[in-house]
Structure 1
């Protein structure tokens, strides 16, 4: 492909392809990562954020290897049977993980809505709101397909990015002034112990989930486009996550004497009360956008797993499962189970990468990463 208009068109295509993974990543953890890191690392929360996004980037390398090297071999029949079975197993595991994550995102969305409108929590109302959102997403998927969900993603993601920039800039400006004037102090480091801290960090793998969604958009984008979209999404999400943790750290409740924060609303109320409503709007849109992205990915995956998964069936099957979870399972239980499911999926992806890559150092790297993901799947602790 030579320069000029074709190159610009390719850039636009990459940006469109970036919407699904970026929406999924931001919806996965932007709202919960700050309170979780506050509870285990306090003033050193940024180190936890850096560690989580670094591990996610390494797993992303394995995911992109699958698009680059495994997909073509699976298509032409040259992939060995053991690796092919592992790929199928990974596809089955990720469907389960996506269904769990959709229920989680919409329960978090409902939690923010109820906390703003009712000033507290109401489990029944949260379940009703979450289930209603699932029905809406499934309805759009059935009637409009991926194109309809993609439009929702683009609109929601644009608003979320704008509101995140405004909130981040406000926290940065206010924090700089208050720290310089002595009105704020950095939070202490909780005495949780290194092992417990590592287990909790492992339990928030879901906060960086989403970059792998490009594997299941093959019907809409070619391999190179999906690889670049995954990279762009991970870089943008890492900058947003780390930057947000940095500017939010001075306002953590542990430093103010108000105690550990349950949600980002607590921090926003102390730092910029006028931004509480925009934050809730951002929460609603980011969680809805992430649920939409994962619903679209589950749909693409289910169609590849079984020949009878045609028409509206994938949306209906995944939607029914997500409805059941959202209506019956506590939020933090969903977080723990979802993180374990994604960690198991990532472990399988790393094993298939190990089996198909060249060079002992790459094999060793993917092998160690697979062991780390298996350890997280087995030992990770929930955040709350």
Structure 2
């Protein structure tokens, strides 16, 4: 009971701090929050049991590797922000750069569609996880209903009112994560004192382990949102805030995985989309309820943000031949089809491949610009290597079995 109270008070305290006007209206923090919330949102719900079960005691190293790959791709996005998006779009860096930017924008638009399906399938699973309707069929039915609701909201221009709630949903999620981490630190410390920490063997090794890790890129994705905040923040603020968001998310993720990987035995880990709930029940009774609240707040806001983003991209790239309502309808059709045709882990893999294509194209764009600006052979080779890595992830990334 005392332990639950400590977790609840930590969550409340962090939440109160985050909604204080001085914090909530601080420009740099506002710029950090958008990519930070995207990076540590859904991944936080899946990565704990998945990495710990698959990689055992080596899970923190795999988590670190994922964050390093994400940071390298983040460097590409930051480079393209510094170059100037308008200069790319208007062809100041050549026709090839302009074409790659257009293709990558289309890739991002479709990646957003898959990511919305990923977010809403997680929402459906977590929303029903602690009810009598906890079944995959009911979760998919709820997900379908939310897809339809989002289309209706988008077609009536209701996103604008919901977007105002974005910061508060982010504050709730970050506060709950703080409470979760405190709970895990106390639990980890207790087991360390009693010398009951364990080093689990990995369940996946060799090439399958590499391809599985590649298929989890979506769980550390989200930093690229900084590039599309140009209407609100200048280039330097976006570059600085994206870098800070990736540093913070790396620390949070690695600490989180360390606190889980050496505490739970393999039989205590559930390889389902809501497996984290069963694991946290062992730590403290309050944590499952907090996780469900975090899932509902974060997944809905993330789905709305990506739906709005994809609608805007489809309209812009089609030169208004596809209206935003039509784009939302397309998104819902594809998303509902994915929901009923695939499980959450397959959708995670599809989303990872979609974003890998986008990051690879952005890396190719950076290489073209580096050649145009005569930035030197090492930089060009680096960007081409990242473009190759993006292509490799898209081709070889595998679904979690």
Given that 2:49 and 2:269 are in contact with CA atoms closer than 8 Å, whether structure 1 keeps it comes out as no
Q: Which residue of 1 aligns with 2:217?
A: 205
Does the C-alpha gap of structure 1 residues 143 and 16 become closer, same or farther in structure 2, counting only changes over 3 Å?
Answer: farther
Partner Cα distance (1:104, 1:220) in 2: 27
Provide the residue aligned with 1:106 in structure 2.
120
In structure 2, the partner of 1:93 is 107
Q: Which residue of 2 aligns with 1:159?
A: 172
Shift of 1:323: 3.3
Using the TM superposition, give the Cα deviation of residue 200 of structure 1 relative to its aligned residue in structure 2, in angstroms.
0.9
After alignment, is 312-321 or 91-100 more displaced? 312-321
Give the match for residue 21 of structure 1.
35
2:280: which partner in 1? 268
Q: Rate the CA distance shift 1:145–1:365 in 2: closer, same or farther, 3 A.
A: farther
Aligned to 2:244: 232
Seen in structure 2, the aligned counterparts of structure 1 residues 75 and 113 have a Cα distance that, compared at 3 Å, is closer
Which whole-Å CA distance do the structure 1 matches of 2:173 and 2:24 have between them?
25
Pairwise CA distance, 1:236: 2.3
* Secondary structure, counterpart of 1:117 in structure 2: coil
1:213-362 to structure 2, matched below 5 A, reads 213-254=225-266, 257-258=267-268, 261-262=271-272, 263-308=275-320, 309-310=322-323, 312-357=325-370, 358-362=375-379
Instruction: Give, in whole Å, the separation in 1 of the partners of 2:296 and 2:265.
Output: 23
1:64 partnered with 2:78: yes
Contact 2:315/2:324, CA 8 A, preserved across alignment: no
For residues 21-80 of structure 1, the C-alpha deviation after alignment (integer angstroms, 9 at most, x for no partner) is 222212231111112211222112111111111110110011111222151322543121
- Structure-1 residue corresponding to 2:129: 115
Relative to the length of structure 1, the TM-score reads 0.89
Q: Deviations along 1:311-368, whole A, 9 cap, x unmatched?
A: 5444444344323333443222211111111111111110101111212221121111
| Structure 1 counterpart of 2:69 | 55
Q: Partners of 2:286 and 2:367 in 1: how far apart?
A: 50
Structure 2: segments with no counterpart, 5+ residues: 1-21
Which stretch has the larger CA shift, 169-178 or 10-19? 10-19
- Residue 150 (structure 1) aligned to one of 135, 160, 163: 163
Distance 1:214 1:296 in 2: 15
Question: How many aligned positions are there?
Answer: 373
Query: Structure 1 residues 320 and 264 mapped into 2: Cα distance closer, same or farther (>3 Å)?
Result: same
Matched, 1:74 2:83: no
RMSD: 2.4
1: CA distance, partners of 2:54 / 2:237: 38
- Between the aligned partners of 1:159 and 1:116, the Cα distance in structure 2 is 20
Per-residue CA shift, 1:110-148, capped at 9, x if unaligned?
Answer: 1122222138x5222111221233334444444446643
